[in-house]
Amino acid sequence: MKATAIGHIIKPEDGGIHIQMNPTYWPGTLELDKFSHIIVLWWITGMDNDEARMHLQNYPPIEGAPLSGVFASRSPGRPTPIGMTTVKIVSIDSELHRIFIDQIDAIDGTPVVDIKPYIPFSDKVDRAKVPDWLKNNVPRYTDHPLD
């Protein structure tokens, strides 16, 4: 079960965060411009070692968070060191094979292993239950922060 790098996260000092796609895989972005958001799957290379991959519990860095299993947190140290971030597409440069995005919690140079379009049918949960320590955590992509 080997992941393939289809591109890399680039974070220039002057902004303009983007995914620099490997040109081989560029045909896979056809019609991507019809979506506003994508889910980026990336490899947490800094945590790809035996010790971090067997680190199964931790304290999420939020006040009041209890000791939690990695599958109940977004901790980067996990058995399969894969990161997942929903981001907004800012623009697409077909000539340079770049997908500009608004933000991502991955460092410069991180391999991207997959991109999926954000589809409300399967990806949007309106009334997800979360633990109390996450209750004041307002969705990033909402027009109704006080709902």
Q: Which of residues 55-84 bind its own copies (CB under 8 A)?
A: 56-57, 66-74, 78-80, 82, 84
Rounded to a whole number of angstroms, the minimum distance from the CB of residue 1 to its own copies is 4
Q: Site size for its own copies, by CB under 8 A?
A: 71
* C-alpha dihedral (67, 73, 74, 77), degrees to nearest 10: 50
Identity of the residue, 74 or 108, whose beta carbon is nearer to its own copies in the bound complex? 74
- Residue 121 as a binder of its own copies (CB under 8 A): the answer is yes
The answer to whether 92 contacts its own copies (rule: CB under 8 A) is no
Binding to its own copies by residue 25, rule CB under 8 A? yes
Q: Is residue 50 near its own copies by the rule CB under 8 A?
A: no
88-91: long-range pairs with CB below 8 Å, 24+ = 88/36, 88/37, 88/141, 89/32, 89/33, 89/35, 89/36, 89/37, 89/38
Residue 144 CA, chain-centre distance (Å), reads 22
